[in-house]
Amino acid sequence: MKPGTIAVVGAAESTDLGRLPGISQIQLHADAALNAMADCRLKPGDIDGVATAGQTPTEIAHYLGITPKWVDGTAVGGCSFMIHVRHACAALNDGLCDTVLITHGESGRSMVGRPPRSVDPASLAGQFEMPYGPMGPPTLFTIPVLRFMKTYGVTEEQIAMVAVVQREWAAKSPRATFRDPITVDDVLNSRMIAYPFRLLMCCLVTDGGGALILTRSDRAKDFPTKPVYVLGTGESAETPMISQMADFTTSRAFTVAGPRAFEEAGISHDDVDHLMIYDAFAHLPLYGLEDLGFVGRGEAAAFIAERNSAPGGKLPINTNGGGLSYMHSGMYGMYALQESVRQMRGVAPAQIEGAQISVCHGVGGMFGASGTIIFTNQVP
């Protein structure tokens, strides 16, 4: 895309985040969507493009009373919303529609109106992975890390530091689920889930939603909100089976999506003031930092352990507390996007003073797919 041609003009999370047994999944989408419309003073009738994952765009358009001219149901897991942003930029620039709504809602904790997930025993994962006893992401997403640790000499203490530092950010965010400080010992003494991953290295599981509204930048002045411009975008997919990931020390989806976004944006790593790296588990920021080129191979663990991503550090990462402490409904990418938008608007609880460029990097499935969006608050 041409940098800066598309702007986020509306953004909001659901009214509540956390354990929400009184609201169904589709209503979480709608609640967030209505909040985002209120943010930029639009009504459902003003929206003509709909993108979503978890529900179909048909369900969301109908539920909200929208007649779309463009829909996108890309559903590749938690980074689907980054990819929706990318596709929306193309659609808006091509004139396929004028105002796009991207919604997320997930009753990940309370499971109200959320279909149960199952793996077909005739699928490749059903035939060649499920017989060996994996039980969801904590036992699959985590499998590569021992290879990563051996290759680069990374310690469990260093991985624990990812959780410790993000809890420091969460402490600044009133809406974060977990805000009490933790130490490396707390992490390493928490319950073993799937060695080497302990409870505090795994994301929480909560209910919530989020929505974004995008339009062409030349219309951004018509809205009451501070526009957040899209500078660059990238996406890719690798494999639905963690066992078939080409290299357990790097994500091919990350190394395609990330560099493409930087190339489109025409920026270098030194230009980045704020970074979100989808953290379903504590090893993901390590892969993200290396695969996006912020640090060299094998340097990410020390980079975080030395507090470079912590409050006061030179590269603030996951400033809402991340999936480890803020919230994680299952497809967390929308909340990473919301934090990037807040930082660019200058209204984040843990605001990075003077931040002008935010990189928001998502993962989908278990290293299965990826989407990267680069935002700026500077008028193009």
- The yes or no reply on residue 139 touching other proteins (CB under 8 A) is yes
- The yes or no reply on residue 241 touching other proteins (CB under 8 A) is yes
> Site map for other proteins, 150-169, x if CB under 8 A?
x-------------------
**Location of structure tokens 């640090």:** 295
- The yes or no reply on residue 197 touching other proteins (CB under 8 A) is yes
Chain Cα centroid distance, residue 147: 25
- Report d(CA 179, CA 165) in Å as an integer: 11
Q: How far is the CB of 133 from other proteins (least distance, A)?
A: 5
Q: Which is nearer to other proteins, 127 or 155 (CB)?
A: 127
- The yes or no reply on residue 133 touching other proteins (CB under 8 A) is yes
- By CB under 8 A, the count of residues binding other proteins is 36
- The yes or no reply on residue 183 touching other proteins (CB under 8 A) is no
Q: Which is nearer to other proteins, 217 or 239 (CB)?
A: 239
Q: How far is the CB of 206 from other proteins (least distance, A)?
A: 20
Paired sense of beta strands 369-376 and 197-198, if any: unpaired
- The yes or no reply on residue 193 touching other proteins (CB under 8 A) is yes
Q: Which is nearer to other proteins, 72 or 129 (CB)?
A: 129
Q: Which is nearer to other proteins, 43 or 147 (CB)?
A: 147
Residue from 45, 65, 95, 121 binding other proteins (CB under 8 A): 121
Residue 56 CB contacts under 8 Å (≥ 6 apart), including other chains: 73
Q: Which is nearer to other proteins, 243 or 356 (CB)?
A: 243
Q: How far is the CB of 156 from other proteins (least distance, A)?
A: 10
- Contact window for other proteins (CB under 8 A) among 143-151, 177-185, 301-309, 363-371: 143-151
Q: Which is nearer to other proteins, 67 or 155 (CB)?
A: 155
Residue 19 CB contacts under 8 Å (≥ 6 apart), including other chains: 109, 110, 206, 207
- Contact window for other proteins (CB under 8 A) among 157-165, 171-179, 185-193, 332-340: 185-193
- Phi and psi (nearest 5°) for 372? -130, 130
- Contact window for other proteins (CB under 8 A) among 72-80, 91-99, 189-197, 288-296: 189-197
CB 331 within 8 A of CB 54: yes
- Contact window for other proteins (CB under 8 A) among 87-95, 242-250, 270-278, 289-297: 242-250
> 147-181 as b/e, with b when 16 or more CB fall inside 10 Å?
ebbeebebebebbbbbbbbbbbbbbbbebbbbbee
- Report d(CA 203, CA 363) in Å as an integer: 14
**Location of structure tokens 């009133």:** 174
- Integer Rg of the chain from CA: 19
Q: Which is nearer to other proteins, 135 or 347 (CB)?
A: 135
Q: How far is the CB of 140 from other proteins (least distance, A)?
A: 8
Residue from 58, 127, 189, 378 binding other proteins (CB under 8 A): 127
Residue 269 DSSP label: G
CB 377 within 8 A of CB 353: no
- Phi and psi (nearest 5°) for 42? -115, 160
- Contact window for other proteins (CB under 8 A) among 43-51, 137-145, 263-271, 369-377: 137-145
- For other proteins, the binding residues in 248-277 under the rule CB under 8 A are 248
Residue from 25, 107, 142, 325 binding other proteins (CB under 8 A): 142
Residue from 96, 111, 124, 205 binding other proteins (CB under 8 A): 124
Q: Which is nearer to other proteins, 59 or 157 (CB)?
A: 157
Take residue 113 and report the two structure tokens written for it: 């109106």
CB atoms within 10 A of CB 2: 12
Residue 226 DSSP label: P
Take residue 13 and report the two structure tokens written for it: 């999370």
Torsion-angle region of residue 192: left (phi > 0), alpha (psi -120 to 50) or beta? beta
DSSP 100-152: EEEEEEEETTT-SS-PPP---TTSHHHHHTGGG---SGGGTTTTTHHHHHHHH
Interface contacts to other proteins, rule CB under 8 A: 119-122, 124, 126-135, 139-140, 142-147, 150, 191-197, 241-244, 248
